């Protein structure tokens, strides 16, 4: 089993920032694209951001463009999601996932392993 562990979530006021981390066991992320998704109660899991295996291509949902930045450090087997200018509507459980070499990058079906999620709560 591939182990992915998210961290960095918490409670923050609107306008604040958080940086989420997704650590993979071993060298799991090397050679794989990684995505961040989020899910709020009563809502579908939605795409947030993705990064290809080399890190030179990044993709963002329209709702987070200009505010969130995805990056990766393959030497540390870690993918990050820097979240700035947070809004209450960003409140959700955030998951990282490893891409299964499938398309499209924004679809949950393209990912084969998921972390346990980390809660992000943005207060107004």
pLDDT in tens, the chain (124 residues): 689 999 999 999 999 999 999 999 866 677 899 999 999 999 999 999 999 988 999 999 999 999 999 999 988 999 999 999 999 999 999 999 999 888 899 999 999 999 999 999 999 9
The candidate with the shortest Cα–Cα distance to 52, out of 27, 73, 34, 70, is 34
Give the per-residue pLDDT at 102. 83
CA-to-CA dists, residue 66 to 16, 44, 48, 62, 80, angstroms: 14, 23, 12, 9, 16
Q: Take residue 98 and report the two structure tokens written for it.
A: 């490893």
SS3 content of the chain, % helix, strand, coil (to 5): 5, 50, 45
Residues in the chain: 124
Give the per-residue pLDDT at 45. 97
Give the per-residue pLDDT at 28. 67
The candidate with the shortest Cα–Cα distance to 99, out of 47, 62, 39, is 47
């Amino acid at each position: 089993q591939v182990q992915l562990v998210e961290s960095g979530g918490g409670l923050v006021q609107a306008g604040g920032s958080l940086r989420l981390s997704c650590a993979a066991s071993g060298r799991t992320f090397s050679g794989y694209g990684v995505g961040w998704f989020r899910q709020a109660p009563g809502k579908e899991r939605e795409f947030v951001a993705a990064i290809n295996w080399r890190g030179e291509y990044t993709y963002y949902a329209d709702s987070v463009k200009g505010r969130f930045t995805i990056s990766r450090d393959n030497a540390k087997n870690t993918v990050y999601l820097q979240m700035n200018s947070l809004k209450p509507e960003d409140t959700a459980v955030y998951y990282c996932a490893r891409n299964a070499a499938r398309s499209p990058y924004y679809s949950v079906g393209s990912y084969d392993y998921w972390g346990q999620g980390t809660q992000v709560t943005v207060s107004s």
